[in-house]
């Protein structure tokens, strides 16, 4: 990969220069209070921002949050993020009430050396996500006017062909931030010649969301452990009753074909936790996969499956995990995710947590983040990288 890095930019000198940084500050907010419930993505960009501040740059940070429809929406404002970012940096972060309008221009113009500004949500502007090259390019022109150089440190967005990710690098001298560089270095180990045994753990809701990565990884891994809601489509393909559990009927035949050509690499649950309803206080118990009642819903893998998965992980030398094993947000159905996560953390393998809900689970369950080799900030981006896809944001940096 031929990409200039933040260190290259720092070596040229950034004191007094405006540096536009694309960050991924798409953090979860409490719907009632608006408070940040997990600041992991903010912390992830601190090494890059801290280095630029220390070097005397005028740092202009831009990011998206949530999925607004191309117009301002208060529930997706980055204002709370500006406050938390300032706390973590130990200095005030100036907040622009718009992205490329009057507030943004005056905020950027007023920056002193070593100060940081955060622009309002990029997706409040339709040009950010537009599929029309001209519309997207016009928005990129406005963003690029705020920088003398561009740093992409938003790995969670590099798989998107968006203005701030794909078009801005064509308009400014550009480099990869420390987070993006670290993510690519780690994931390239998984696509190259990983130490074996190489075990992948996949969970989450839908087989269709993970089909491409399963297809790509199956020839490369030694074991593929499947849990989460997606396991029920695989179990259905084996002829089991799955009750009212999440099921993609149109994917059953695909799952059957995957198992037939997997050379016994795919390992499925042998027991699951079923409940009367999708609720934390619903009556629930553990059953074998050949005994799922017709009117109950599977919400977690069972203890025997956790033990089996842990045994498969124990001797691994490389582990990639993406997707929870159950509805970990509800305490009665978090045991499977916790058990598998703890087994991964205790292994002697090089371990990678593939972002998204997996990274959230590590934090929500109070697990020690330092016990994992790497926790990615990009769920979708990490999966597409492992699929071998060209990521627009990385391709833009290579030009």
Binding-site annotation, residues for ATP: 210, 298, 329, 355-358
**Beta partners for 201?**
225, 321
Axis crossing angle, helix 252-260 with helix 207-217, rounded to the nearest 10: 20
Catalytic residue among 41, 136, 178, 182: 41
Q: Is 356 a catalytic residue?
A: yes
- Number of other residues whose CB lies within 10 A of the CB of residue 67: 11
Distance between CA atoms of 248 and 245, rounded to whole angstroms? 10
Q: Which residues are annotated as a binding site for substrate?
A: 24-26, 41, 64-67, 123, 160
| 152 Cβ contact list (under 8 Å, min separation 6) | 21, 22, 158, 165, 169, 174, 175, 176, 177, 180, 393, 396, 397
List the catalytic residue out of 227, 308, 339, 380: 380
Among candidate residues 266, 271, 348, the one with its CA nearest the CA of residue 305:
271
Kindly name the residue from 4, 105, 189, 206 that is annotated as catalytic.
Answer: 206
Taking Cα atoms as reference points, which of 155, 120, 127, 163 lies closest to residue 45?
A: 155
Known active-site residue 380: yes
Q: Reply yes or no on whether 206 is catalytic.
A: yes
Whether 58 is catalytic is: no
Can you tell me the distance from the alpha carbon of 211 to that of 244, in angstroms, rounded to the nearest whole number?
Answer: 22
| Annotated binding-site residue numbers for (2R)-3-phosphoglycerate | 41, 123, 160
Q: Per the residue annotation, which of 323, 339, 356, 378 is the catalytic one?
A: 356
Catalytic residues: 41, 206, 356, 380
């Amino acid at each position: 990969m031929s990409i200039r890095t933040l260190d290259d930019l720092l070596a040229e000198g950034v004191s007094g220069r405006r540096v536009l940084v694309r960050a991924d500050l798409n953090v979860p907010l409490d719907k009632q209070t608006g408070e940040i419930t997990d600041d992991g993505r903010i912390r992830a960009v601190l090494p890059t921002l801290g280095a630029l501040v220390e070097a005397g740059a005028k740092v202009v940070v831009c990011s998206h949050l949530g999925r607004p429809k191309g117009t301002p929406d208060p529930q997706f404002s980055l204002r709370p993020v500006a406050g938390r970012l300032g706390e973590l940096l130990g200095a005030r972060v100036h907040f622009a009430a718009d992205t490329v309008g009057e507030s943004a221009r005056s905020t950027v113009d007023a920056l002193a050396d070593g100060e940081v500004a955060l622009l309002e949500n990029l997706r409040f502007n339709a040009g950010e996500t537009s599929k029309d090259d001209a519309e997207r390019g016009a928005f990129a022109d406005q963003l690029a006017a705020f920088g003398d150089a561009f740093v992409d440190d938003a790995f969670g967005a590099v798989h998107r062909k968006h203005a701030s990710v794909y078009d801005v690098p064509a308009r400014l001298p550009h480099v990869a931030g420390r987070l993006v560089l670290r993510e690519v270095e780690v994931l390239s180990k998984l696509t190259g010649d990983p130490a074996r045994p190489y075990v992948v753990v996949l969970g989450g809701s839908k087989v269709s969301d993970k089909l491409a990565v399963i297809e790509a990884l199956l020839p490369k891994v030694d074991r593929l452990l499947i849990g989460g809601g997606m396991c029920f489509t695989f179990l259905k393909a084996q002829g089991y009753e799955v009750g009212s559990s999440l099921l993609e009927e149109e994917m059953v035949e695909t799952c059957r074909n995957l198992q037939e050509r997997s050379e016994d690499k795919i390992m499925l649950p042998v027991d699951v936790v079923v409940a009367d309803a999708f609720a934390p206080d619903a009556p629930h118990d553990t059953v074998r996969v050949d005994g799922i009642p017709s009117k109950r819903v599977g919400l977690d893998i069972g203890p025997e499956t956790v033990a089996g998965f842990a045994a498969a992980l124990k001797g691994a030398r490389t582990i990639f995990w993406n997707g929870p094993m159950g509805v970990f947000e509800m305490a009665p159905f978090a045991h499977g995710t916790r058990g598998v996560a703890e087994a991964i953390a205790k292994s002697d393998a090089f371990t990678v947590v593939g972002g998204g809900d997996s990274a959230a689970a590590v934090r929500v369950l109070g697990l020690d983040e330092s016990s994992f080799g790497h926790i990615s900030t990009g769920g979708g981006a990490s999966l597409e990288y492992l699929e071998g896809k060209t990521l627009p944001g990385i391709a833009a940096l290579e030009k």
